[in-house]
Amino acid sequence: MTDGPNFKQELTGVFGQPVAENPSQVMMEAAYQAAGLAWRYLTIEVAPADLASAVQGARAMGFRGFNCTIPHKLAVIEHLDGLGESASIMGAVNCVVRRGDELIGENTDGRGFTESLRPIRDPAGARVVILGAGGAARAIATELALSGASRLTIVNRTASRGEDLARLIDEKTDASATFVPWTGDLVVAEDVDVLVNATSIGLSPDGDARVAVAEDSLRSELVVADVIPNPPRTRLLRSAAERGCPTIDGLGMLVGQGVLGFRYWTGQDPDPSAMRAALEAVFGG
């Protein structure tokens, strides 16, 4: 992935420094193709100092929107005209949408996750343990709270980050969240419905890294999800599947946020299976 907005527009052009195709580009262009749209989704690296000009350029060239990645998720906000609800709570934008003459910042990461969870477990009323307190955990916790999850437990190695996230959920949503320090192997309590690994543990090239969870506390009713898209079958998900748990891999969240971006930009529903197939061709299934 590159550290720059992934611009998408209707016409092909030359903007800044196009970089090698990334998985999001492959996924979104597969979705356009499946929908018969001659649209492009381009990956463009933008230095932090050039962000204002890049957003101005997107306005000038009539882009329907763009995604942005770290480090632009926070900095882009001051260049936009407004924020959607979850982006406003999180203070982070990963998806910008042109509405009339305005560029509005949305956050589709968390909703991408809740949409991938929904076919297996309704987030409403769910008791969820989230491992991690970084950007992905923040997005997932916020969206679960907005979807009516009944209890969120944030487990993180660095206490200050975990406490900040639990406080954010308590103060800005109707849900309640508790922070639990992560020491040794986490034992998942028997009344937990969903366990989410939202840390970067297991990301390639450390694909076999172990998430410190007591494997014998993974009951077969527990839904186990992992945000890691590469490799999709993480060690945690393999352990969970061996114990009979329903599992959701990181491609589910990636496709979920892509579906939302596609809808925002085109006003149409994409074919998620074409998007997932394109990602599986990159990462393996």
Name which position in 9, 107, 108, 156 contacts ligand NDP (CB under 6 A). 156
226 phi, psi to nearest 5 deg: -135, 135
Residue 177 forms beta bridges with which residues? 152
261 binds ligand NDP (CB under 6 A): no
Please tell me the distance from the alpha carbon of residue 199 to that of residue 202, in angstroms, as a whole number.
8
Query: Interaction with ligand NDP in 160-189: which residues (CB under 6 A)?
Result: 161
Residue 190 near residue 219 (C-beta atoms within 8 A)? yes
Q: Which residue is nearest to ligand NDP (CB)?
A: 134
Q: Does the annotation mark 73 as catalytic?
A: yes
Question: Is 158 or 273 the residue whose CB approaches ligand NDP more closely?
Answer: 158
Does position 134 interact with ligand NDP (CB under 6 A)? The reply is: yes
**8 Å CB contact between 212 and 202:** no
- The binding track of 192-211 with respect to ligand NDP, each residue x by CB under 6 A or -, is -------xxx-x--------
- Catalytic-role residue among 73, 98, 111, 121: 73
**Residue 107 half-sphere exposure toward CB, CA atoms < 13 A:** 30
Contact segment (CB under 6 A) with ligand NDP among 8-16, 55-63, 252-260, 265-273 equals 252-260
65 binds ligand NDP per the rule CB under 6 A:
no
Burial 110-120 (b: 16+ CB within 10 A, else e): bbbbbbbbeee
Please count the residues of this chain forming the interface with ligand NDP, following the rule CB under 6 A. Answer: 23
User: In whole angstroms, what is the distance from residue 269 CA to residue 65 CA?
Assistant: 16
With CB under 6 A as the contact rule, which of the stretches 7-15, 120-128, 155-163, 167-175 interacts with ligand NDP? Answer: 155-163
CB atoms within 10 A of CB 278: 22
Instruction: Please report where in the chains the tokens 């982006």 appear, as a residue.
Output: 87
Query: Which segment (14-22, 80-88, 99-107, 223-231) binds ligand NDP by CB under 6 A?
Result: 223-231
DSSP-assigned beta bridge partners for residue 180 = 155
Closest Cα partner for 159 from 136, 178, 185?
Answer: 178
Q: Are 205 and 140 in contact (CB under 8 A)?
A: no
247, 257, 266, 272: which one binds ligand NDP (CB under 6 A)? 257
Question: Closest separation between CB of residue 226 and ligand NDP, Å?
Answer: 8
Q: Which residues bind ligand NDP (CB under 6 A)?
A: 109, 112, 132-137, 156-158, 161, 199-201, 203, 227-229, 250, 253-254, 257
Provide the annotated active-site residues: 73
